[in-house]
A and B are shown apart, each in its own frame.
Chain A
Amino acid sequence: MENLLHVGKNVPRTAEIDKVTGHAVYIDEYKRPGMLYGKILYSQYAHARIKSINTEKAKKLPGVRAVITGYDIPDVRVGFLGDQTVLKRDIVRQFRDEVAAVAAITPEIAEDALKLIEVEYEPLPAIFDPIEAMKPDAALVHETDARGRPLRSNILPLPWKFSAGDVDKAREESTYVVKHDVTTPWINQCCMGTSGCVAEFDSNNNLTYCAQTNVIFGAKQRIATYLRNIGLKGKKIRVLNPVVGGSFGTKLDTDIYEFICIQLALKTRKPVKIRFTREEEFAALPPRQASRFTIEQGCDKEGKLTFRKVDAILDNGAYTSWGATTPSVMMLPISSMYRVPNVSFQATCVYTNNIYSQAMRGYGNPQAAFAVETSMDLLAEKAGIDPAEFRLINRNHPGDVTPMGLKITTCPLEECINTVKEKIKWDEKRGKKNGRGVGMASLIHVAGGARVYLSDGTGIRIKVNEDGEVDVLSGSTDQGQGSPTVIAQIIAEATGFRPEDVNIVFGDTALGLWDAGTHASRHTFVAGNAAVRAGELIKRQILELAVQHIPKLVKRSLKQQQKKNPDFVPPELDYTLIDSPDKLELKDRMIYPREAPDHPYFKTEVGKILTSGLHVGVGESKAVAAEVFWDPPTQMLNAEMKGNYSCTYAFGTAGVEVEVDKQTGEVKILKLVSAHDVGRAINPTLVKGQIYGAAYIGIGYGLTERVQVVDGKVVNANFRDYKILTANDNIPVEAVIIEDPDPAGPYGAKGIGEPGLVPTAPAIANAIYDAVGVWIKDLPITPEKVLAALKAQGQ
C-alpha cells in the first residue's frame, strides 16, 4: 500500500468554502415557490387529558393557510414502537407533545396563530422517576400498546438481556470485587443548524421531501409507510438533503415534526417548511438517553478480570425512539472492553412522563463506558494495581473473540494506553492526591460498519465525463463531517484521478443506490470500501480504452508530424508494452506503461483517452461509468445479543490531567491526550478534527452539560443555561493518531466519528479521584458535587 498519492494527505476541504462564505444552501435558505411556514403547538402539561381544542380564532388570522389538530388527520401511529400519533388528541403524555400545527405565509404569522389556539386540559398525575414508574402499582403512562392491547406495566417489552459464562461462580472465585452505581444525564446534541424540513406534493400526490436525515432510505421507507397508512398508497417519494449543519444522532429517526410538515403540505397543497427555533431544538427534540447503571466487577490475584455484571435502567420518557435501542451498543464496552470471560447485562427501559430520547454520537457507549471505566479504577485500587497497568493486563488482543462474539482483528490498544501514559507523564504525576491528578479510560466501538438493519450495505455510482471530471453519486449523506473530501481522496486514489477532479452528490434517493445511513461511524469505512471497488472498475474500463486508443492516438500524431515534416522519421515503437490493461497504470491522471513509466510516446493524459473513446466517428463509442453496492460481511445480533456486527473495531485511550480547586470544587483540565486507533488516517487533519470535537463534547459530558428536566419540563432550553463549552474554554487537547491499517478497511481505515468522546468523561472522573480522593459517579461532575463530596470526607 505504498506510494499512495492522495490517501493519508491533508487534502483541504474545498467543498466547504461555500459554508464559510455563506453560499451553502442549508434548510434555512432552501425555498420553494409559494412556500408556507409551519409551526407547532406543544402541550402545557406533562400528563393531561385534552378536553377541547378550539382553532377558530387561529384560522381567521390573515395569512394563516391551515390549522390542524389530531382531529383533522388520520389517527395513525408512528415511531419505533408505534406508541404515538403525529398530533395528540386525547391525552398528552409529556410537555413536548404536539397538539396542533399551523401553516402560514410567514413564520411570524404562524407563531402568532399558535397563540390563538385554545386548548383546555384536565391535568392528570404524572410520573417522572423511572424507579417509581417500575413499581407494580405505578400509574400507567400508556394504557394500551400500539395494537390497542392493554398494558400492565410501564416497563417496555424490549428484551435487553445478555449473558456469557457464569457470573455467580466467577464472583465467588474472584479475589477482589467492586460494585457501584453511576448515573448519566440527558444530553442535547447541539447541532449548529437547528432541525427543519420542506415537504412538497405534486398534483399526483408524489412527495419531494427535503430533510436533514442521515438515513435517506430509512426515512423514505418510514414516510412511505406513513403515507400508505393515511391512504396514499404507491405514491413516489424522493428524499433530498440540503446542506446539513451537524446531526450527532438527531437525524437518525424520522421525527414527529416531519410528519406534521407532510400533513401541512397535504392540507395546503403548497410546499411547507418547518424549522425549529433553538428553544424547540432543546425542548422538542429527543436528546441522548439518560441512564442509571449498577456495575459489579471482579478480578483475580494477578489482576485478571473475572466477571462483569451490569444492570441498567433507562428513563424512556413517554414514547419510544432510538434511545431505547442504545443498549445494543452499551453491550460493546460491557461485554468486550478488556478481556472479561463472564458477563451479564440487563437493561430495562421504563415509560415516564419525561421527554423521550434517541441517538447521539456514541449511541449508548459513552454511558456504559462511564460505568465500566470508573469501575476499572475502583477495582484496580482494590487490587493494589496501577490503573494503567490494570488495563494493560486485561487489554484486548488481535484475534480475540469476545463474549459477545466480536472478532477483534487489528487492536493497537496497548499502544494507545502506553502513548497516553507517556504523553500525560503518568508515572510522574499519579498518586499525589495534592489537588492535581491524572486519569485514563479506554474504548471499543464499531469501526467497520454495523449491521443494525438486515442490510449494512451502501452503494456508489461513478461516471467519468470526457473532460476527466469524475461525478460520484453516493447513496449516503454528509452532515458536515468532511465526507466530500475523504471519499474524493479515496476515489482519486482508486481511479487514478485527483481529489479536485471528483464531484460528489450526496443525499438524494432518486440518484443514489441504497445506503443504511451515515451513522455508527460507518461512512468512511463502508462507503470507502464501495468507492475503492467502484474506482477500480472505472480504472479498468479506462485502461481497456487506453489499450485501444493510445496506439490510435500515437499513430495519428506520428502521421501528422510526417505530413508537416517530410523528413521526419517515425520511431520504431514497441506496442506490446501497452497491449493489455494489465500492462498499464493510471495515476494522477496520467496513463503509462508499467514497464516504461516515462515513455515519451505512450504516456497519455487520461482526458485524451476519454474523449477518443467517446468520439470514435465510426464504430462503438464508450462512456465510462460503474456502480458498486457493497454489503460488508457483518452479522446481525441474534436473540442472545451475540454476533460480529462490525467488520472491525476501533480502540482508543484518553488520558486527562486535572487540577481541582478544593475550596470551590472547580475542576480544571490541564491536559487531555486522546490516542485513537484509526486503522489508517485517510486525511489526518480531518481525523484530528473528529477527535478534538468529540473530546470537547466528552468534556462537556464529564463536567458541564445536561438537559435539566424538572417535573417533565426542560428548564434550560437555551445556550445560556445549557453549558456546552465555548471556544474560550480552550482546553489543551492533544489528538494522537495510532495507525495500524486494518485489512478490511479502505486503504486500512477504520471509523472515527464517535470514539473520541467515549472515554473522556470517565477519564476525568478517574483523574479527579487521583487528585483529591473523591469519586463522583453522577454526571456531569459539577463543582457542587465535588465540593459536597470533599466536605463529606472532611477535606
Chain B
Amino acid sequence: MKAYDYHKPHTVKEAIDIMGGLENAKYIAGGTDVMVLLRQGKINPANLVSLRNVAEISRIDTQNGIRIGAGVTHTQIANNEFIREHYSALADGAGVVGSKQIRNVATIGGNICNAAPSADTACPLLVLDAEAVIAGKSGERQVPVDDFIVGPSQVALEKGELVTGFVIPAFGDRTGSAYIKHARRLAMDLPILGIAVRATVKIGGAQAACRDAFKLTDVSDIVKRLEAEGLVLEDVRVAMSVVAPRPVRARKAEEAAKGKTISEKVLEELGEIAASESKPRDSFRGEAWYRRDMVKVLTKRALLKSIERMTGASSMVAPSRLW
C-alpha cells in the first residue's frame, strides 16, 4: 500500500474543485470498497478526496418521491421508516449489505459508483426507476441508474464528477417492492443472486380480501385467492444481480407481466422469462444452472412479497414464510 494525500472538502463545489486540480485522485466515501482495493493493490491513487464531511450529500429529503444523498449510509436507509414503507426493496437491500459495522460507514453512493455486479442496492434502485444526480464543473445532470451503471466497476461519470444523490418518484399506495438476497450466510457475504421486484397493481375485488389471502399458509392458495379477487399486475419491474456483468432489469418479464391477472401460471411464466434473460456463469462462487433456477424461484417470491407489502399484510402476524 502506497502513501497518498487525503483531502477533506466540505461542500460539493469544493470537492469538484479539488478533484479538478489533482492527478490520479479518487473519491472516497465510507471507504469500504476503496480501502479493500487499495490493500489489494488494485488501485494506487496518489490522492483520496473524502466525501465524509460534505453535509449536503448526506440528507434524505421526502418531498415528491424521495431524494437520498449519495453519502447516506446503509444503516440510515435500512432504518428509515419512510423508505421502509414506500421503497421497501431499497431498505431490504441496504439492510443486508455486509455487516452492521460495514452498513454503519458504507454509503449508497459508494455502492452504486463501485458498480459491482453484486451490489445490493443496485437492483432495488433499478426497479424503483431511480435516477442518479451528478454534479460536475459544468453543473448538475440526472441519469437513470440503469444508464448510469455501465459495466463492472464502470459508471457514467466524467472526470471530476461526483454523485450527489438519487431521486426516486412517488408510486402511490398500489405499489409494493421487495429485494431478496440469496447468499450462503447471513452476514459478510456477496449474494449468489439478488432479485428485486416492484409491482404496481389494480385490484378488481376487495383490498381487504387480498390482505387476508396472506393469512393462508399454502402459497398456491394465496395466489388463487388473489386471482379470485382479480388482482392485475399493472406495472412490474424485475431486476437481477450477479447473473450478468452488471445488475440488469428483466425487461421481457416486465413486459409480459403488464396487464395480466395474477395466477400461478402467470407467476411461473414470469419466473421462466426472467430466468431466460439472465446470463449467469459458472464460477467457484456458484453454478450457472443453480443461479438461473433461483432467478425463477426468487422472482416469484419477490413479486408475492411486494404484493403482500402493498396490501399491508406484512404488518400482520402471518405464518412464517419462505420469503
Contacts and interface: CB of A to CB of B under 8 A. Distances in A.
Interface stretch (B12-20, B138-146, B153-161, B187-195): B187-195
A786 to B, nearest CB: 10
A131 interface: no
A723 B182 contact: no
A728 B286 contact: no
Contacts of A633: none
Contacts of A721: 284-285
Given A721-B285, A784-B286, A726 B188 contact: yes
Contacts of B184: 704, 723, 782-783
Nearest to B219: A663
A466 interface: no
Contacts of A787: 290, 293
Contacts of A729: 185-187
Interface stretch (A83-91, A169-177, A211-219, A708-716): A708-716
B217 interface: no
A618 to B, nearest CB: 67
Contacts of B293: 787
Q: Which of A108, A661, A664, A725 has most chain B Cβ within 10 Å? A: A664
B213 to A, nearest CB: 20
B1 A663 contact: no
A727 interface: yes
Q: Which of A661, A704, A783 has most chain B Cβ within 10 Å? A: A783
Interface string B1-45: 100000000000000000000000000000000000000000000
B297 interface: yes
B188 A725 contact: no
A720 interface: yes
Contacts of A568: none
B322 interface: yes
Given A663-B297, A708-B284, A784-B286, A728 B185 contact: yes
B218 interface: no
B79 interface: no
B187 A720 contact: no
Contact of B290 (A715, A716, A719, A783): A783
A665 B1 CA distance: 42
B284 A715 contact: yes
Range class of the A interface residue count:
20 to 34
A33 B190 CA distance: 43
Interface in B290-304: 290, 293-294, 297-298
A726 B297 contact: no
B294 A728 contact: no
Given A663-B297, A729-B185, A710 B284 contact: yes
Interface in A765-795: 782-784, 787
Contacts of A719: 188
Nearest to A665: B290
Given A108-B1, A783-B290, A787-B293, A726 B284 contact: no
B53 interface: no
Contacts of A784: 286-287, 290
B239 to A, nearest CB: 19
A710 B190 CA distance: 20
Interface string B300-323: 000000000000000000000010
A720 B99 CA distance: 12
Given A663-B322, A664-B297, A725 B185 contact: yes
Interface of A: 108, 661, 663-665, 704, 708, 710, 715-716, 719-721, 723, 725-729, 782-784, 787
26 contacts: A661-B322, A663-B322, A664-B182, A664-B294, A664-B298, A665-B290, A704-B184, A708-B284, A710-B284, A719-B188, A720-B188, A721-B285, A723-B184, A723-B185, A726-B185, A726-B186, A726-B187, A727-B187, A728-B185, A729-B186, A729-B187, A782-B184, A783-B290, A784-B287, A784-B290, A787-B290
